[in-house]
Amino acid sequence: MKKILFTVFISFFVIFSSCKNNQEDDYDYKDTENYEEEEEISAESVVSDFVYYLGKQNYYDAFNLTDNPDWGDYSKFSSKSAFGSITETQIKDIETVSEGSYSATVYAEIYYKDPVNGSNTFKQNFYLTKSDNSWIITDMEVVKSQTNNNSQTANPQVGEYTYKSNSCAAYLTIYEVGSDYFEFYISSGCNSGCTGDIMENLYAYKENNKWVTYTDCDLEFEFKSNYVVITENDCDYHGVDCPFGGTYYK
């Protein structure tokens, strides 16, 4: 009798365990089935959020979207002599000038209400660097006009071009221009100590009406009347915090 009861108990335990495992398997399967991949955030949306937070006087969240040593820590960033005096913002125009795999430039025309330092509307370029699956604002500068307001692409010209911001600078020199190529040299450096340099001159070639490189430094060049916009997709010739992407003026 005891043997029969023991056998029945073991059989019940096996059936119960099997049902439980099947339920857990179904649960895991449903979780996997309903999983949605996280959507990648654009550089333009990060700039919009940054300006929005400033206008709502949420300086902490605005600060967390930046990484610029010259802007200091949160205490300095949110002080009245910096961004902490802004009480209202309004974006009048915003668009992406360039966006590569590791760097991006976003142009925006923004009204800042600032009772302490004076309210005004500024046209600005925001420079961003890729961080994980999002973008971080590393610098910004006031510009005279929208950087990509010329719809026609000019031809490259021999000469020197310079990109400068509050914390970084980069230099582009074009040595020779042919019908479907140009030879160039580029270098960059930031106050943080990050540097970038191409050891020898590279060539860019015209492909589908774009000027691009075919090396370990993947760049695209868009020439305008007096400046060139460089979009960097990938490059091994500089540190993480000092990419070559940006707007270079002649």
Say how many Å lie between the first and final Cα of the chain, rounded: 99
In this predicted structure, what is the pLDDT of residue 87? 94
Q: What is the b/e burial string over 129-166, where b = at least 16 CB atoms within 10 angstroms of the residue's CB?
A: bbeeeebbbbbbbeeeeebbeeeeeeebeeeebebebb
Name, in order, each residue with C-beta under 8 angstroms of 23's C-beta and a sequence gap of 6 or more: none
Amino acid at 164: K
Burial of 1 (0-12, 13-18, 19+ CB in 10 A): exposed
Which candidate, 138, 152, 132, places its Cα nearest to that of 188?
Answer: 138
- Averages of pLDDT over each 10 residues, the chain, 250 residues: 48 48 45 50 94 96 93 93 93 89 89 89 90 87 59 78 86 91 92 83 87 88 88 84 86
The CATH fold assigned to 43-142 is Nuclear Transport Factor 2; Chain: A, (3.10.450)
Counting Cβ atoms within 10 Å, is residue 42 exposed (0-12), middle (13-18) or buried (19+)?
A: middle
All structural domains of the chain with their residue ranges: 43-142, 159-249
Which residue stretches of the chain are H helix?
A: 2-34, 43-55, 59-63, 74-77
Closest CA to 96 of 64, 126, 131: 126
- Under a CB-based contact definition with an 8 Å cutoff, are residues 156 and 221 in contact? yes
User: CA quadruple 6, 9, 15, 17: dihedral positive or negative?
Assistant: negative
